[in-house]
A = this chain, B = another copy of it.
Amino acid sequence: MSRQLRIAIIGHRFMGRAHSNGWLQAAKFFDLPAQPVLALACGRDADATRAFADNWGWEETTGDWREAVARDDIDIVDIASPTHLHRDMAVAAAAAGKHLFCEKPFALDAAQAAEMLAAAKAAGVVGYLNHNYRRCPAVRLAKQLVDSGELGRIYHWRGSYQQDWLADPETPMRWQLKQEFAGGGPHIDLGSHGIDLARYLVGEVAAVTCTQANFVKERPLPGGGGGEVTVDDASIMSLEFESGALGSLEVTRYATGRKNRNAFEIYGSEGAVCFDLERMNELQFFSKCDPATQQGFRTVLATDPGHDYAGRWWPPGHIIGYEHPFAHAAADFIDAVCDGPPITPDFADGLACMQVLDAANRSAREGRRVEVG
């Protein structure tokens, strides 16, 4: 592994940590064609960025992301910043010929997404969009069951992503509740995960109908007074897939008791699968191939060597956690950069996902069904 890939990361909070850990763990648990080097950490708060770099082993820090993405000694730009910055960073980094590891949500809207895709294409770089849940072993098993035909013709996708951190009206205002920074509420933050999984597992969405709610219109500001919430609080979509399958997706930050429940059910003519991120090592699988009196949803613990990625970690029955799919993504990304198989979801997926979400927003505003694209 003499080849090295030098990474610049932008962002040092939750996603900065998760990405840093992903790069490091990928190097330890996977056989990589190149060594990821944590070269440069970029953040506006110099002290925090320094502490972050020290903790994770980033060699240098900088406060200027434009300089960072342009440096000659950088191969990969890891965008772990708030959503409203993604477009400029991705476009600049692509222009500088850097491979792109971009956190979700991809962009504020489909127009930005299209710019990002165009930039990556023009530069011929790898553009990866980090919808990390595609790389849970249990989700990969679902994908295999769909693709192999074991579920038969797909009739239904039923997705939800439920959190509860806004259920208390006194929870204070933060940047995620402002349209200009976040691009939307759970519709985009959680909905992008849901649409990505729906597209990954069932296919393209032809039309969407959406209803949104805003339960709490003003929230306390840290310094006193109230700030207006300018994003949705919850969003319910019905999805008409090109295949004829019917889907639903419900996302919210007001589902008391659900901390991080990214769940889906897929029903086909021959079988069904269900997934819940809070039990992310498990896939529920129902098969009509089983004898009639023995049919039932089986709980597959996706920790066997035969499950994607699982053999890299621990013996069967020893579960992995939230951060492991980041390492899977890091490993696959490095493979892709080193001329291995292309990695998805890519920037084209990012555009397609944003187009569905944009159409859904339009549907909610106008109270009517909207065709995608």
Contacts and interface: CB of A to CB of B under 8 A. Distances in A.
A181 interface: no
A368 interface: yes
Interface residues of A, number: 93
A120 B301 CA distance: 40
A166 B144 CA distance: 25
Interface in A247-301: 248, 250, 252, 254-261, 265, 267-272, 277-283, 285-288, 290, 292-301
Given A259-B303, A295-B257, A158 B158 contact: no
A270 B295 CA distance: 17
Contacts of A215: 155, 244
A256 B316 contact: no
A156 interface: yes
Given A155-B254, A301-B296, A21 B28 contact: yes
A50 to B, nearest CB: 14
A367 interface: yes
A163 B257 CA distance: 27
Nearest to A215: B155
A175 interface: no
B307 A293 contact: yes
Contacts of A267: 162, 164, 167, 252, 254-258
B285 A296 contact: yes
A21 B268 CA distance: 36
Given A55-B28, A248-B236, A296 B298 contact: yes
Contacts of A192: none
Interface stretch (A61-69, A74-82, A318-326, A347-355): A318-326
Contacts of A280: 319
B318 A314 contact: no
Contact of A316 (B259, B279, B286): B259
Contacts of A165: 316
A315 to B, nearest CB: 7
A240 interface: yes
A225 interface: no
Contacts of A258: 267, 272, 317
Interface string A362-373: 000001110000
Interface of A: 14, 18, 21, 24, 28, 55-56, 141, 144-145, 151-152, 155-156, 158, 160, 162-165, 167-169, 209, 211, 213, 215, 234, 236, 238, 240, 244, 246, 248, 250, 252, 254-261, 265, 267-272, 277-283, 285-288, 290, 292-304, 306-307, 313-324, 367-369
30 contacts: A28-B55, A155-B255, A155-B256, A158-B250, A167-B269, A169-B269, A209-B209, A211-B369, A236-B246, A236-B248, A248-B248, A252-B267, A255-B265, A255-B267, A255-B272, A256-B267, A256-B268, A257-B286, A257-B295, A257-B297, A258-B272, A260-B315, A278-B281, A279-B319, A285-B294, A296-B300, A298-B299, A314-B321, A318-B323, A319-B319
Given A152-B256, A296-B301, A318-B323, 20 more contacts: A144-B293, A145-B294, A213-B244, A213-B246, A236-B238, A248-B250, A256-B268, A256-B271, A257-B297, A259-B315, A260-B318, A278-B281, A286-B298, A293-B302, A294-B298, A295-B300, A313-B323, A314-B323, A321-B321, A368-B369
